[in-house]
Each structure stands twice: as C-alpha cells, then as structure tokens.
A and B are shown apart, each in its own frame.
Chain A
Amino acid sequence: MKNKEPLILAVVVFFTLVTYYLVEPFAHSQMHEHFESKGFAYSDLPEITKKGDVTRGKELVMGAAACTGCHSITSQGLEAPMDAVTAVSAYGVNAPDLSDVGAVFDERFLNTHIRNPAHALKVEHKFTPESGKIHPMPAFYGAGGDIDQEVADIIAYLRSIAPKPDKLTPKMAFETACGRCHAMHYEKWTQIGTKPAFKRKQDELEFDTNVLDYQDSLKKYMGKLPPDLSIYIRSRGEHYIKTFMEDPQQYLEGTSMPRVGLNAEAAEKVIEYLKDSGDAKRHERDSIGWNVMIYIIFFAIFALLWKKQVWRDLH
C-alpha cells in the first residue's frame, strides 16, 4: 500500500496554519488599527530656515528668552529654580532639564515647540480658549529681532551642549523623553528620579511621599496617572510604541499624552531602554535558542536512525 503519511501531514499542517492565520494575524488586523511610522519626520511642522548661532543662542537661553527661569541645565551647572515636586504642583508638569534635549528631540519639533508648545505636542484640544487654560510653557514670541533667527540660535545652542549621539545612553534618552511622567519600577525609576537605596526608613518614606505628591499633581494635570512603562515593550510591542510616540492622537483621539517629538536615533534608544527593562534576557534567549535548535535537530537525526534500524526487520 502506498504511504499516505505525507498527505496526512500536509492536511494537518494546512488546517493548523489556517487556524493560526485566522486567530493571530487576521484577528489582530481586525482588532487594532495599524499605522505606519512616518520616520520621525514631523512634516506637518515648518522647517528651520535660518542657520543658528551658538553664542547668540546661549545669550537668549540664559537671558532674553528666560528659559532658565524654569529649566535647569545641569550639564552647564545650572540648577532648577524649584524642585520637581513644587514645580509640578505649580504648573502640572515639571520643566525638563535642557542638558540633553538637543540630542533627544527633533529640530523641526523644537522649532515649533519653542514658539507654540501645545501645537508641537498636539495637545491643543486641552488648551482651547473655552477651557481658559494655557500650556504651562509660555510661548516664545521673540526677543525683538527676527524670531526665526532667534529660535534657530536657541536650537543651535541646545545642540552644542547636548551629548553626541554615541554618548547618549538609552537611559538618558528615556529620562528626558518619558521619565517626567512615566515611572518604570523595574528600573527603580520614579517621576522624580531613580529611587536610591535608603539606610533610614524615614528617608525612604519621605522619598515615597514626594513621589506620591508629584503623582497627585500629575494626575490632576493629565486626567490620569500615566502608566508605568516597565514591561510596555511586551504589552504594546515595538511598532506600537514607536508610532504612538510619533503621534499619540492617531491611536487615542483626545488623549492628554503629548507627541514626544523624538528624533529617529533617540526613539531607537528609548525602545532599547524599554527592552532592557521589559525583555531583559532577549540576547540570552536568542543565543541559547540557536544552540537548542541545533541540538534538537541532532536529536531528531538520531531518532530517525534508531527508528530505521528497529524497523528494518518489520517491513
């Protein structure tokens, strides 16, 4: 009798694959909207037309533009005028440290952000005239000269003090881009910084109280507490997070999560950091995976040889 096993195997594999296709790729395509990445181009925002001057930019940042009235620049030795908990209770958000922003955020995005923060962040729905609210970061209306030139100068200065791309670690990118709203307790990160190991319980409780106070203010400002991102890489996946950071509104219309405005390299670093936290053993998994696959194929070859020997007499 003819051997029917290949046909039977084909039937089993066919129905298994059909079922898999229907419950995984097909079902997910029906459940979730899919958006392609726009390559962090921010083409809805105008380009920078002027060439910036670092020295003039520095003068603006420290002087006329009054950035340092709220922002710290720790890499330049400038501390924030108030601590994070006080700042967030006063403004709803804590103004970011400007040391790394030139390396983390896209130039086009910064160009608009400085003049019209709510527009660049795509949160204008929160700051409508009817609401009577304005974005906590005051718009820069110029220091008397050509505003395009002045903004270009500011950006040039911020880029000049920012770390070079190879010096920007995944952790730094995450902290500047996400860390003021999102905690990440698998990495001990809180919205007010990394939680140290305390010797005295009182100090620890004080730190925790500060975090809770900060979170309360943040909750009021955002409508809800932004989620902890410890294993978001597993719950949302790389593609979703990337495209979500590019434009949260396309997924959740009306959400108070702002557009992050990262440049493409910084976005990769943020993803890298999320993987370090939520998928820490991925490299080990891959290398062990290949070894196990090689072993198991050997195992199958030996099983085949044994079967052939045993069955030689049976046919």
Chain B
Amino acid sequence: MAHFTKATSIKDWLNQRLAIEKVEKVMASEYWIPKNINFLWAMGMVLVITFALLLVSGIFLLMYYQPNIDLAFDSVNYTIMREVDFGWLWRHVHGVAASVVFLIIYIHMFTAIYYGSYKKGREMIWISGMLLFVAFSAEAFSGYMLPWGQMSYWAGMVITNLFSGGSLHADGLVEWIRGDYVPAQAFLNRFFMLHVLLVPLAIIGLIGLHFGALRIPHVNNQDGEEIDFDEESKKYLAGDKAGSKVIRFANDFMSKDMLVVAIYLVFFFYLVFFHYDFAMDPVNFDPADGLKTPEHIYPEWYFLWSYEILRPFSTDIGLIAFAFAQVIFMALPFLDRSPNTIPASRRGLFKYWFWAMLIDMIALTAMGKVPPVEPFGTIGLYAALIFIGLWVVLPFITKLEKKA
C-alpha cells in the first residue's frame, strides 16, 4: 500500500490520492501542441462544446418528451414549445446544434483530408473520427424520429426500407428493425432508446478513443513539419517560449480554442434565435400521418450527398453505391498511397483531387434536395459517378506522387 502523510492542504490531500498535479500536466500544461496551426485546429473544441450543448438541451427536452405515437407530437409542439418555461429555447438549441454539428464535422473532416492528418501513425484518429461520424448520423436520424411529424414518419419509412436490400426483398429485416409493418409505437420507442441511451453511450466512448488516438502521434500541423516534441518542450520549459515550436494545451492552445469557440457561438446563437427554421423542417410541423405522403421527401442537409448517390441509379445499383459511400471514407488512410504528410497544396495531383471531392460533394448535396427532374437528375448522376471515380483513382494518383 502506498504511503500517505497528513495532508497540508486540500490540494495535497487530493494529490496524494488522485495525483491531480500529474493528471493536470499530462492532460493540459504538458500536453504539447504544435505552434504552427490555424483556427481549423480548434474545430475539435468547437465540437466538444456543441456536443455539450446538445447534451444539456437534450436533458431538459427529455423531461417533458413523451415517446408515445399519440402524445409525442403535442408533447414537443405544445408542452415543450408553449408550456415549459424556456422549453422553446432547449428545443431550438437542440435542433440548431444537431444541424450545425454536422457542418463542423465536415469542416473538421476536410481539414484532416487537406493536411493529411490521417497518415503515418494517425490512422486511428481518422478511423475513430469516422466511427464518430457514423454514430452522430445514427444519433441525428434517431432524434429526427422523435417529434413524430410527417418527415419523422416518412424518413423513418424510407430509410428503414433501404434495409430491404432492393431485389433481396428482405422485408423481414425491415419489419424486425421497425417492430411492425410500418413505423408505429414499437418503432418510436426503440428509436427513443437509441437516441437517449445507446448511441450517446457509443459517442462518449468513441470520443474517448478519438482523444486517446491523438496522444501518441500528436496533433498534426499546417506545414507538414515533423516536430521533435521532447526537444521542443524542453526548450519551452527552459523559458524559450517564442523559439519553441510547441505550446502547452492549456492555457496556450486553450485560449485560442476559446476565442474560436466564442466566435462560433455568436454565429450559433444568431441561428438559434433568428434563423432556426433552416434546421427545423416545416413539413415536420404536420403530425405523422401514415395515410398521406408529403409532396417531397428528403433527408436533412447533412445526409443529402449520400442520399443523392442512391437516387440516380436503379434500386440495386443505387444501394450498392450508397453502401460504398458509407464506408469508403473509412479506408482513406489506406487508399492514399503517398508517403507525404503535407498540405494538399504541395501534393501534386492530390491537390486537384481534394477540391474536386469537396465541390462534388456539395453538388451531390444540392442535387439530393431538389426534385429529381432534369437537369438535376443528370447533374446528380454525373456527380455520383465522379464521386465513385475519384475514389477509384485515388490510389493511383497518390502512388505517382514523389516524396517531398
């Protein structure tokens, strides 16, 4: 057993039992971050803050929400929006954050792609990040079911139908997922469970993995520079703060993180109070009606690109293309054959690949929402083909790349 002495202060008392000074060093003051990074490196903190907003607002919504097909709609739109003090605030924060979190996730993802932050020892950061993307998608979809409006119902119908596998006609699987022939009470209850318990648990676990995966390879930097963290941190601790290439996580990096978070929150609360409607589809303010299909059925904006990959093809090919789109990002570290961990701007053909992928995904997103009439159908088809083509050529163009 360890040796304990009479504590001289509360801090000392805690220190003997929990080694808080050591923890503080490992987690904050001697967690070294490269200095040559820009505000895009603060997106992780922005995501943490957004997740916290979702969690807190979700807890308050949970106290009045009723997971029952007869009561759910009014418990949200009447009880929470009209009766509960500040209920409207929690709902708008929750709805807007659920949408904005995907914007930040996409920025975070494309930052990693641009700077090659998934390579050479950082593969697990990328993979855990993509798993988080999947978990957030499940969280968003299950949450979208809960107000039990028309879009909840029909999105639930359409998305669960995907599991029939086209010509496989796996209707049994679809009915198993729904617990009924159509989305009904069993469906709402199980998606409620997923949304408030199972998926958040998975997200929290994955966030731990994501952060853990960052420790050994360290954070990447914007110049693709290989930094000797031991050497540079010694320099910093010796007092040469300006000359060292690294900074402390807290308060050095943290203060910049918080500045970015603050600017983000200005934008976020503007949306919450004055522009919330983009995140709350009007169609979902009609109660679910299994006897009446809405005129247009489309997912929320962050799913549109993968929805559009499904849409222009015949059922079976569409499903295969859709499945491809869901998993292919996971394989990015292995499809990129280049030895360089440097920004895309210095990487030959990959530079064009990056911008082509970004623009193509925006095109897919746009085409995923408009009705499938010409010329949108054709644009969508080409954008989907380009998406698949870009992934096919990726190993070849990166193989050609010379060592920088």
Say if A and B assemble together.
yes
Q: How many residues from A make CB contacts under 8 Å with B?
A: 52
Query: Are A4 and B38 also in contact (CB < 8 A) when A23-B369, A307-B258 are?
Result: yes
User: Does any Cβ of B come within 8 Å of A27's Cβ?
Assistant: yes
Query: Are A313 and B241 also in contact (CB < 8 A) when A9-B39, A285-B273, A303-B259 are?
Result: yes
Which residue of chain A is the closest to B258 with respect to CB atoms? A303
A30–B298 CA distance with the chains assembled, in angstroms? 13
Interface centre among A286, A289, A292, A310 (most CB of B within 10 A): A310
A314–B296 CA distance with the chains assembled, in angstroms? 54
Residue contact B362 to A18, C-beta cutoff 8 Å:
yes
Which residue of chain B is the closest to A313 with respect to CB atoms? B241
Distance in Å: Cβ of B395 to nearest Cβ of chain A: 26
Residue contact B247 to A314, C-beta cutoff 8 Å:
yes
Query: Are A311 and B252 also in contact (CB < 8 A) when A31-B296, A296-B266 are?
Result: yes
Contacting chain A: which of B3-11, B177-185, B189-197, B280-288? B280-288
- The A interface, classified by DSSP as helix, strand, loop or mixed, is helix
Distance in Å: Cβ of A230 to nearest Cβ of chain B: 8
Query: Are A186 and B39 also in contact (CB < 8 A) when A23-B366, A30-B371, A306-B255 are?
Result: no
Interface centre among A19, A31, A186 (most CB of B within 10 A): A19
User: Does any Cβ of B come within 8 Å of A20's Cβ?
Assistant: yes
Which residues of B are found within 8 Å of A288, using beta-carbon distances? 89, 273
Contact code string B269-292 (vs A, CB < 8 Å = 1, else 0): 110111000101011111000000
CB < 8 Å neighbour of B259 from A30, A235, A304:
A304
User: Does any Cβ of A come within 8 Å of B40's Cβ?
Assistant: yes
Query: Are A299 and B265 also in contact (CB < 8 A) when A31-B296, A285-B88, A289-B273 are?
Result: yes
Which residues of A are found within 8 Å of B89, using beta-carbon distances? 285, 288
User: Does any Cβ of A come within 8 Å of B262's Cβ?
Assistant: yes
Residue contact A235 to B286, C-beta cutoff 8 Å:
yes
Which residues of A are found within 8 Å of B103, using beta-carbon distances? 16
Query: Are A296 and B265 also in contact (CB < 8 A) when A26-B366, A307-B256, A314-B35 are?
Result: yes
Which residues of A are found within 8 Å of B376, using beta-carbon distances? 30
A19–B304 CA distance with the chains assembled, in angstroms? 11
Contact code string A216-230 (vs B, CB < 8 Å = 1, else 0): 000000000001001
Distance in Å: Cβ of A110 to nearest Cβ of chain B: 32
For residues 2 through 24 of chain A, which have their beta carbon under 8 Å from a beta carbon of chain B? 4-5, 8-9, 12, 15-16, 18-20, 22-24
For residues 271 through 303 of chain A, which have their beta carbon under 8 Å from a beta carbon of chain B? 278, 280-281, 284-286, 288-290, 292-293, 296-297, 299-300, 302-303
User: Does any Cβ of A come within 8 Å of B293's Cβ?
Assistant: no
Contact code string A22-43 (vs B, CB < 8 Å = 1, else 0): 1110110011000000000000
A37–B88 CA distance with the chains assembled, in angstroms? 31
Which residues of B are found within 8 Å of A236, using beta-carbon distances? 282
A8–B256 CA distance with the chains assembled, in angstroms? 16
Which residues of B are found within 8 Å of A303, using beta-carbon distances? 255, 258-259, 261-262
Residue contact A314 to B252, C-beta cutoff 8 Å:
yes
Residue contact B366 to A22, C-beta cutoff 8 Å:
yes
Which residues of B are found within 8 Å of A8, using beta-carbon distances? 38-40
Contact code string B182-210 (vs A, CB < 8 Å = 1, else 0): 00000000000000000000000000000
Query: Are A186 and B301 also in contact (CB < 8 A) when A303-B258, A314-B35 are?
Result: no
Which residues of B are found within 8 Å of A125, using beta-carbon distances? none
CB < 8 Å neighbour of B255 from A12, A296, A307:
A307
Q: Jot down 18 A-B pairs with beta carbons below 8 A, ordered by A.
A: A4-B38, A4-B222, A15-B362, A18-B362, A22-B366, A22-B369, A31-B295, A231-B285, A289-B269, A289-B273, A293-B266, A296-B266, A306-B259, A307-B259, A310-B255, A313-B241, A314-B242, A314-B252
Given A278-B285, A300-B263, A302-B262, 10 more pairs with CB closer than 8 A: A22-B362, A24-B278, A27-B370, A31-B371, A232-B285, A234-B77, A235-B285, A236-B282, A296-B269, A304-B259
